[in-house]
Amino acid sequence: MILEDWVVSDENENFQFYMSLWKKCKKIPPPEVEREEGVEAEWECLEATALGVYMSVVQALIVIPFVASIISFIIGIVAYCKREWRFLYKIAAIILIIAAVAVLVGVILFPIMFINNLPFSAFFWFGWGYGVSWAAFCFILCAAVLFLISQDKKEIYHTQKTMKL
């Protein structure tokens, strides 16, 4: 979520850029005269929301599931501590499934929409931030499945006393 390398350019000189959920930075090389003098171009950054409404939607689709996952974790801890409240596992699982779908939509929508803002000849690759978001989707979905298959049976615990004769 906070990593800055969701998309990174593969250009060395012509058009360098990187993009995250929160900002997009580009580095356009100086003209030939300045390049000979050793002047290096500076990174020009702008807020990602300036790229369009889709970035605000993607930000929401990533941040809201993060908060929902924390809430589900707290619900799971409470349900684990109080055996009578094991039905809360199902509620946590439903929250996590909705969160996983939101992350899935976010990581699919992001590359589809940002391509429109790039020059046709730009080369890029997805960085760690984008890969971690796919991993987050997998982990959230696995957590939901584990909550769903948990045992919510009321088990009776009793001790057995043995006597020696």
Domain membership of residue 139 as a residue range? 7-148
Q: Is residue 159 part of a domain?
A: no
- In the sheet that holds 23-27, the strands lie side by side as 44-47, 23-27, 16-19, 7-9, 124-126
Q: Write the pLDDT tens digit of every residue in 96-136.
A: 999 999 999 999 998 888 777 666 666 778 888 888 999 99
Query: CA 77: distance to chain centroid?
Result: 23
- Write down the pLDDT at residue 128: 85
Distance CA 86, CA 144 (A): 14
Q: Write the pLDDT tens digit of every residue in 46-97.
A: 887 777 788 889 999 999 999 999 999 999 999 888 877 888 899 999 999 9
Q: What is the pTM of this model?
A: 0.76
Q: Is residue 12 part of a domain?
A: yes
- Could you give the number of structural domains in the chain? 1
- Write down the pLDDT at residue 84: 79
Q: Is residue 127 part of a domain?
A: yes
Q: Write the DSSP assignment of 129-144 as a string of letters.
A: HHHHHHHHHHHHHHHH
- Write down the pLDDT at residue 139: 95
Where residue 112 sits, what CATH number does that domain have?
Answer: 1.20.140.150
Q: Is residue 112 part of a domain?
A: yes
- Write down the pLDDT at residue 77: 92
- Write down the pLDDT at residue 73: 94
Q: Is residue 32 part of a domain?
A: yes
Q: What's the rounded mean pLDDT across residues 6-24?
A: 76
Q: Is residue 142 part of a domain?
A: yes
Has residue 14 got a pLDDT over 70? no
- Write down the pLDDT at residue 35: 55
Q: Is residue 163 part of a domain?
A: no
Q: Is residue 44 part of a domain?
A: yes
Q: Are 94 and 102 in contact (CB under 8 A)?
A: no
In the chain, the percentage of residues whose pLDDT exceeds 90 is 32
